[in-house]
């Protein structure tokens, strides 16, 4: 094939691809201007404890540390979204979440004259009530990116706060947290899907100081959480 024919073919492909790009269908073109919409989401969570010990651990001989082992849990929730102005939405996303946090308490056992790790599982089943603001970028064809920020109130249905048992590691039923997140809105022909990553920072002390040997050396416990979810709206 001669050189000028190759050049002509290259120009034809370039112009054709550019035209094809320009003719790509814009899915759901009026979606971001709607006053409100609804959806649902599913996800995987990782809940952890941020443990603050008492200032002087020398007052607690035989105690070494308490650490948390985190197993993934699950999230399911619904989305209600209210448009405030362009690129700013108010969202209320109630959810149910389940998780287990495993505490490993390293201490000295005087009965066996050696160190021993006590394992305490803390199971939680949350009703979550988060209220957040969503700040969105300008839409680029069928995509936009966004960040979120807000507050979350948790009710732990599995809390054993008032159970009289010194062998349990108890946490309080009610919790409050700050949340920040980010994600990408992907517009399809009939729905919008968004992968999202969110972090939560609890600011309510969850420790139930019942006088048991497992909490004597702990001052405060706060929630830390990470959620990866997929939303459909």
Q: In the numeric block, which tokens belong to residue 125?
A: 């089943």
pLDDT tens, residue by residue, 102-124: 988 887 777 766 788 888 889 99
The single residue listed with the structure tokens 């003719």 is 23
- 180: exposed, middle or buried (C-beta count within 10 Å: 0-12, 13-18, 19+)? middle
Report pTM.
0.83
pLDDT tens, residue by residue, 74-90: 999 999 999 999 999 99
Pairing of strands 192-202, 36-53: unpaired
pLDDT tens, residue by residue, 142-161: 999 999 999 999 999 998 88
pLDDT value of position 77: 97
DSSP H helices in 57-201: none
CA distances from 121 to 24, 79, 87, 182, 219 (A): 53, 31, 43, 31, 19
Asked if the model's pLDDT at residue 3 lies above 60, the reply is no
Asked if the model's pLDDT at residue 165 lies above 90, the reply is no
């Amino acid at each position: 094939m001669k050189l000028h024919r190759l050049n002509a073919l290259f120009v034809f492909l370039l112009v054709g691809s550019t035209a094809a790009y320009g003719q790509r269908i814009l899915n759901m073109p009026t979606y971001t201007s709607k006053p409100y919409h609804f959806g649902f989401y599913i996800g995987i969570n990782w809940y952890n404890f941020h443990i603050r010990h008492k200032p002087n651990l020398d007052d607690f001989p035989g105690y070494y540390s308490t650490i948390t082992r985190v197993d993934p849990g699950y999230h399911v929730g619904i989305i209600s979204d209210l448009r405030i102005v362009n690129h700013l939405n108010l969202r209320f996303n109630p959810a149910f979440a389940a998780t287990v946090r495993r505490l490993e308490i390293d201490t000295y056992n005087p009965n066996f004259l050696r160190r021993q790790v006590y394992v305490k599982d803390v199971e939680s089943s949350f009703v979550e009530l988060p209220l957040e603001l969503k700040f969105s970028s300008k839409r680029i064809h069928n995509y936009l990116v966004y960040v979120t920020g807000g507050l979350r109130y948790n009710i732990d249905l599995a809390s054993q706060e008032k159970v009289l048992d010194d062998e349990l590691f108890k946490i309080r039923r009610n919790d409050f947290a700050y949340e920040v997140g980010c994600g990408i809105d992907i517009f399809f022909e009939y729905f919008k899907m968004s992968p999202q990553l969110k972090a939560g920072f609890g600011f309510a002390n969850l420790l139930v100081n019942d006088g048991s040997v497992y909490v004597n050396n702990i001052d405060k416990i706060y929630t830390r959480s990470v959620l990866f979810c997929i939303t459909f709206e």
